[in-house]
A and B are shown apart, each in its own frame.
Chain A
Amino acid sequence: MADKNAILAGLAEIVEEETGLETEEIQLEKSFTEDLDIDSISMMTIVVNAEEKFDVKIPDEEVKNLTTVGDAVDYIANAAG
């Protein structure tokens, strides 16, 4: 599960489902709030769905540190070991 490309693809599906953005737009350097216009409730929805999909825990206090898609992919990759 530490394959970052697989994590990015899985995360992109979750973001697409929540926001309607095309999966191709969900790239590592994109900021959730600045580029993808994702509000806090949507972000938490993405986090809850990502926890289930990747079988990881992302504590609430960590979520504010996940500025970009890449931050989230790194966090999930580390948490999944």
Chain B
Amino acid sequence: MSQRLVITGLGATTPLGGTVPETWDAALAGTPGAKTLEHEWVAQYELPVTFAAEVAVEPSEVLSRPETKRMDRSTQLGMVAAREAWADAGLKDVELDGERVGVSFATGIGGVWTLLNSWDTLREKGPRRVLPMTVPMLMPNGASGAISLEFGAKAGARTAVSACASGVEALIMAQELLETGQADVVLAGGTEAAVHPLPLAAFANMQALSRRNDDPAAASRPYDVDRDGFVMGEGAGALVIETEEHAKARGATIYAELAGGAVTSDAHHITAPDPEGLGATRALRRALESAGASAADVSHVNAHATSTPLGDVPEYIAMKAAFGDHLDNVCVSATKSQTGHLLGAAGAVESVLTVKTLADRKAPVTINLDNQDPEIPLDVVSGTARELGAEEQVGICSSFGFGGHNAVVAFRTV
């Protein structure tokens, strides 16, 4: 199949805003999403990390009360983003053949709040008080299932689960549904809602989280010499992906082309990235290959760049290996400096931002880059947003996850 795939709708609810326009404006301006947590449980458990990047708009402000009761917070956020993307694509009142509509949605952890709250209920009140909706709420495919119901999508509702690579992997799974002719339209994306004391404690004990408790706004600082870990974030991103033929037949507005994508696995270590970035390099090269592009075509990368001391360097090494000297001509945005790390939603939200970058020809800023690490001599967009030229642009979004997962997608301007 040589059918071109295009992006026709975008949705997001993030620490920067409850919609794509709000998130995008904040991302261009440079807005720290991390704040001191005000939940009782922070002091109760004496958590070593007392801040995170929570969503700017609570899902309960947007969803009905029964929806908030019957969906885990992760599914709630996914639903908010999915509805925005669907409406943005102009599909809200359009009658589609459900058997040609698919879903591919990601999560890193799934319904962790539901799982742990139900466990508390069981221990405190006994098994009879465990709500019957517990399983459909905690299962990792909860969001894909709920979203397929929402839009009557019957071509398959897939779930990508590959830790922090999940969001991008969901787009690649969507691409497969479309390229193999199983669907004409796929709602793809990812969600995460894991700002809960247990994941916070566990990530902190791995020494993965920033401890900058006295200055949360400055804590997420990819590529800066003083970076000391990632900042937990939550949120969701969603994209409507269609075959070009289908999009044009219905006169849809096209943001960008989903040109290609690839996944690889390191088989190196369960959490540490391959120090030479070999798996990431292969993913970058294969994504370009599948996009019919060469390294010289790439003008922008929305990097994984989590702000951990060990993670940011191998990603640079991989980019250098894949793009060679052309890397000097590639502008890189590390938007986790603003949003924090949305785990399984990260690649989805960052894909939304990459698509916006190409559509608006403006790359968002990387904040907190005060002293760039000399080991990472990238052209990082910092200070103010960067204008991209009017010529054809290829933008890359890459995500890497525990388990050794590497996922890369390539978008092209239209």
Residues on A facing B (Cβ under 8 Å): 17-20, 41, 44-45, 48, 51-52
Complex CA–CA separation, A44 to B65 (angstroms): 18
Do B69 and A18 touch (CB < 8 A)?
Answer: yes
Per the CB 8 Å criterion, the residue count for chain B at the interface is 13
Do A18 and B66 touch (CB < 8 A)?
Answer: yes
Q: 21 interchain pairs (CB within 8 A)?
A: A17-B65, A17-B66, A18-B69, A18-B70, A20-B64, A20-B65, A20-B66, A41-B132, A41-B133, A41-B136, A44-B132, A45-B131, A45-B132, A45-B133, A48-B129, A48-B130, A48-B131, A48-B132, A51-B129, A52-B125, A52-B129
Complex CA–CA separation, A48 to B126 (angstroms): 11
Complex CA–CA separation, A41 to B131 (angstroms): 9
When distances are taken between beta carbons in the complex, the residues of chain B under 8 Å from A17 are 65-66, 69
Whether B250 is near chain A, meaning CB under 8 Å from some CB there, is no
When each residue 112-126 of chain B gets 1 if its CB lies under 8 Å from chain A and 0 otherwise, what string results?
A: 000000000000010
Considering the complex, give the chain A residue whose CB is closest to the CB of B125.
Answer: A52
For the A-B complex, the count of residue pairs with Cβ-Cβ distances under 8 Å equals 26
Question: Residue B128 contacts which of A19, A41, A48 (CB distance < 8 angstroms)?
Answer: A48
Complex CA–CA separation, A52 to B131 (angstroms): 12
Where chain B touches its partner, the secondary structure class is helix
When distances are taken between beta carbons in the complex, the residues of chain A under 8 Å from B69 are 17-18
* Interface positions of B from 38 to 92, Cβ below 8 Å from A: 64-66, 69-70
Where chain A touches its partner, the secondary structure class is helix
Q: 10 smallest A-B Cβ distances: which pairs?
A: A20-B66, A44-B132, A41-B132, A20-B64, A45-B132, A45-B131, A19-B66, A41-B133, A20-B65, A18-B66
Instruction: Report the minimal beta-carbon distance from A67 to chain B, rounded to whole angstroms.
Output: 19
Complex CA–CA separation, A26 to B128 (angstroms): 25
Considering the complex, give the chain B residue whose CB is closest to the CB of A49.
Answer: B131
Instruction: Report the minimal beta-carbon distance from A66 to chain B, rounded to whole angstroms.
Output: 15
When distances are taken between beta carbons in the complex, the residues of chain B under 8 Å from A48 are 128-132
Instruction: Report the minimal beta-carbon distance from A14 to chain B, rounded to whole angstroms.
Output: 11
Instruction: Report the minimal beta-carbon distance from B279 to chain A, rounded to whole angstroms.
Output: 42
Given contacts A18-B66, A20-B66, 17 further A-B contacts (CB under 8 A): A17-B65, A17-B69, A18-B70, A19-B66, A20-B64, A20-B65, A41-B132, A41-B133, A41-B136, A44-B132, A45-B131, A45-B132, A45-B133, A48-B128, A48-B130, A48-B132, A51-B128
Complex CA–CA separation, A8 to B334 (angstroms): 56
Complex CA–CA separation, A45 to B118 (angstroms): 13
When distances are taken between beta carbons in the complex, the residues of chain A under 8 Å from B66 are 17-20
When distances are taken between beta carbons in the complex, the residues of chain A under 8 Å from B130 are 48
When distances are taken between beta carbons in the complex, the residues of chain B under 8 Å from A20 are 64-66
When distances are taken between beta carbons in the complex, the residues of chain A under 8 Å from B133 are 41, 45
Complex CA–CA separation, A20 to B63 (angstroms): 11
When distances are taken between beta carbons in the complex, the residues of chain B under 8 Å from A52 are 125, 129
Complex CA–CA separation, A17 to B67 (angstroms): 10
When distances are taken between beta carbons in the complex, the residues of chain A under 8 Å from B125 are 52
* Interface positions of B from 202 to 228, Cβ below 8 Å from A: none
